[in-house]
């Protein structure tokens, strides 16, 4: 098969690494790709949001299957465009992708189908939002409506921070005028946050092994939200049998059936960002693609052919598929440019990305080659990913490679996976 992978981040490098291993894959193209994906297939200079250009390329190059990594083309309707052209494209339709494209629409969907989530109110006016904040106080969560690369959420511990978040989203339009047109103010959920992914074929769904992300910029879950500073999988001891049953019965099945009822059945990967509260799992967010960096912690453990899984989704036969996992733990650490998630430097030379450990992979997230030198091009630059017998083994391997990479002023958290360690210690006490 000729396969086209859309995207250029660490998630797409991990997906390309797995797709290239498939016996179905004859030729792999990645649009636009990065220096890491260039080692696995053919990078194509077409932007991930250039849907017309991608469709034309797929037609001209006899692409048998297109796999979409990032959310922007999915929310913009790439699957619908490809379907009209008679092309197979793995991912949800534009209507189904609204679950991520609009947090307002997502929360309203949850309310329609009585799916557990934090109590919330929607605001279209900044003054009304400020008034409401004075009524309810802090801590409180403020979310912009549209896509914001994982940074459009503020968990405000005090009212000054909350008011500032409203102004950033609705007045300064920090995440874009459309994204800040509406905001959500919701209660803070208490508990452990976990990422649960389900492959979906419109009617059937298969849950993957869970992962846990680290969103805050600094150690100890401090600082602003980022797109993700690291992740690990699996998360033993975090999900009880009761919690797993609740996720399927109260969240996944109502979501799938609700979308079918509304004429927009879900095909692809559904990311459920959940808080495990004392009252059971509750939805924090939905994403309509693999998480980043959770994907980098999941894919190295996946032993089933990813292309087979994508085809099963498209052909409505997930109920015939078994998924096998490497029993080892996988942990990924994000190496970020200085200043991220705020204004960050680019074009910082990087060296030392070659290594000899078969259990360690370095996925490129924001790099480019300039005059023959590997340089940073984004805020999240590399994902150092390691497999280990347990989380301590995986962490030791990953950080040993992180420390060996020459990346001036690099920033990365030193405590990825420590939540798991703290939980294990508590469970054994």
Identify the pLDDT of residue 421. Answer: 55
In angstroms, the CA 131 to CA 111 distance is 24
In this structure, are residues 193 and 212 in contact, taking their beta carbons and an 8 Å threshold? yes
> 392 CB contacts (<8 Å, ≥6 apart)?
421
Q: What is the dihedral of CA 154, 159, 165, 167, to 10 degrees?
A: 170
Give the DSSP H or E segment for 261: helix 253-261
Contact at 8 Å (CB) between 170 and 236? no
What is residue 249's DSSP assignment? I
Asked if the model's pLDDT at residue 150 lies above 70, the reply is no
Tokens in use for 314?
């498209």
- From 365, 366, 307, select the one nearest 27 (Cα to Cα): 307
**221 or 200, higher pLDDT:** 200
Span 44-67, average pLDDT: 98
Instruction: Please tell me the least confidently modeled range out of 26-35, 183-192, 350-359, 405-414.
Output: 350-359
Q: Which of 80, 15, 98, 54 is nearest to 293 (CA)?
A: 15
pLDDT at 152: 84
Whole-angstrom distance, CA of residue 250 vs CA of residue 280: 10
Position 356 pLDDT exceeds 80: no
pLDDT value for 202: 97
The confidence score (pLDDT) of residue 88 equals 98
pLDDT number for residue 429: 45
Report the alpha-carbon distance of residue 386 to residue 332 in Å, rounded.
6
User: Tens of pLDDT along 320-355?
Assistant: 999 999 999 999 999 999 999 999 999 999 999 987
Residue 318 has phi, psi (to 5 degrees) of -65, -25
Q: Tell me the pLDDT tens digit for each residue of 402-412.
A: 999 999 999 99
Evaluate whether 63 touches 87 at the Cβ level (below 8 Å). yes
The owner of tokens 């960002």 is 273
Residue 213 phi, psi dihedral angles, 5° rounding:
-100, 160
Quote the pLDDT of residue 177. 79
pLDDT tens for residues 364-391?
A: 999 999 999 999 999 999 999 999 999 9
Q: Which residues of 120-156 are buried (b: 16+ CB within 10 A; e: fewer)?
A: bebbeebeebbeebeeeebebbbbbbbbbebbbbbbb
User: pLDDT value at position 178?
Assistant: 79
Residue 285 has a pLDDT of 94
Residues in the chain, how many? Answer: 429
Which domains does the chain show, CATH number per domain?
2-91 (3.40.50.20), 121-186 (3.30.1490.20), 192-320 (3.30.470.20), 329-428 (3.90.600.10)
Predicted local confidence at residue 191, as pLDDT: 92
């Amino acid at each position: 098969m000729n396969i086209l992978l859309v995207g250029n981040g660490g998630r797409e490098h991990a997906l390309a690494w797995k797709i290239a291993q498939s016996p179905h894959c004859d030729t792999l193209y990645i649009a636009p790709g990065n220096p890491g994906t260039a080692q696995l297939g053919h990078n194509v200079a077409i932007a991930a949001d250039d849907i017309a250009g991608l469709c034309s390329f797929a037609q001209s190059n006899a692409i048998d299957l297109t796999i979409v990594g990032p959310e922007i083309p999915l929310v913009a309707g790439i699957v619908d465009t490809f379907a009209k052209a008679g092309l197979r494209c793995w991912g949800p339709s534009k209507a189904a992708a609204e679950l991520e494209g609009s947090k307002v629409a997502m929360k309203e969907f949850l309310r329609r189908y009585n799916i557990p989530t934090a109590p919330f109110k929607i605001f279209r006016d900044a003054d009304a939002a400020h008034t409401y904040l004075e009524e309810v106080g802090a801590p409180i969560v403020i979310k912009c409506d549209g896509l914001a690369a994982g940074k459009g959420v503020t968990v405000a511990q005090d009212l000054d921070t909350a008011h500032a978040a409203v102004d950033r989203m609705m007045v300064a339009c920090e995440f874009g005028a459309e994204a800040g047109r509406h905001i959500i103010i919701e209660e803070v959920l208490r508990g452990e946050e976990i990422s649960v992914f389900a492959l979906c074929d419109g009617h059937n769904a298969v849950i993957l092994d869970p992962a846990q992300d680290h969103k805050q910029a600094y150690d100890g879950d401090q600082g602003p939200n980022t797109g993700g500073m690291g992740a690990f999988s699996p998360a033993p001891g975090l999900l009880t049998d009761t919690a797993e049953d609740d996720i399927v019965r109260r969240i996944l099945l109502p979501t799938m059936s609700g979308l079918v009822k509304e004429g927009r059945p879900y095909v692809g990967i559904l990311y459920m960002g959940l808080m495990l509260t004392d009252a059971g799992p509750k939805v924090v967010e939905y994403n309509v693609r693999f998480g980043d960096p959770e994907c980098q912690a999941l894919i190295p453990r996946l032993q089933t052919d990813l292309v087979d899984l994508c085809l099963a989704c498209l052909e409505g036969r997930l109920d015939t598929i078994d998924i096998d996992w490497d029993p080892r733990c996988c942990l990924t650490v994000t190496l970020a440019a200085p200043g991220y998630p705020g204004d960050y430097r680019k074009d910082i030379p990087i060296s030392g990305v070659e290594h000899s450990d078969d259990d360690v992979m370095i996925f490129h997230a924001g790099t480019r080659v300039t005059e023959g030198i590997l340089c940073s091009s984004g805020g999240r630059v590399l994902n150092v990913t390691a497999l280990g017998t347990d989380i301590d083994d995986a962490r030791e391997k990953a950080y040993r490679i992180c420390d060996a990479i020459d990346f001036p002023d690099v920033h990365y958290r030193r405590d990825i996976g420590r939540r798991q360690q703290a939980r294990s210690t508590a469970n054994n006490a």
